Amino acid sequence: MSRQELVAAATAAGIKKASSTKSADLEKALAKVSKAKVGGSGTKGRPVDPNSKRQAKLAAPKTGKKGRPVVEGSARQLREAAKAARAAANGGVVKRGRPAQPKAEVVAKPVKTKKAKVTEPTEDQVG
């Protein structure tokens, strides 16, 4: 079996980091996995009791009601209702902070550039 076939078989068997494991170790791990599947179901861990309370709780659909109950008429609920009313009146958006002032048109000023000074080369620089 080539290295690539070993890695592919190991990843299919659920062996993690198969590509960075030595080939000899992969062969041993694959042999161990195949023995476990022949001898038993091949699953690891504690068996599941389908009649347990925990399994019944996991199988039941979630109600979606968790946490602290809402008190109608509280100060927070009044604020939330006012916020929802503002959002509905404003097209679904409530902006926070200071209102923006419309910007006046800005006339672009010309950018001043510095002129490069041209100097004559001295006798030392001429060579």
pLDDT tens profile 83-103? 899 889 888 777 778 877 877
User: Is residue 98 one of the residues assigned to a domain?
Assistant: no
- What is the C-alpha to C-alpha distance for residues 29 and 21, in angstroms, rounded to an integer? 10
Residue that is written with structure tokens 């002032």 in the block:
101
Provide the mean pLDDT of the chain. 81
For 75, residues 6+ apart whose C-beta sits below 8 A from its C-beta are none
User: Is residue 27 one of the residues assigned to a domain?
Assistant: yes
User: Is residue 96 one of the residues assigned to a domain?
Assistant: no
Q: Considering Cα of 17, then 23, then 29, then 30, what sign does the dihedral take? A: positive
User: Is residue 5 one of the residues assigned to a domain?
Assistant: yes
Give residue 42's pLDDT: 54
For 23, residues 6+ apart whose C-beta sits below 8 A from its C-beta are 3, 6
Give residue 38's pLDDT: 53
Number of domains in the chain: 1
Say which residue, 41 or 97, is predicted with more confidence: 97
- What is the C-alpha to C-alpha distance for residues 4 and 10, in angstroms, rounded to an integer? 10
- What is the C-alpha to C-alpha distance for residues 122 and 24, in angstroms, rounded to an integer? 79
User: Is residue 103 one of the residues assigned to a domain?
Assistant: no
pLDDT interval class at 37 (50, 70, 90):
low
User: Is residue 118 one of the residues assigned to a domain?
Assistant: no
Q: Which range of residues forms the domain containing residue 32?
A: 1-40
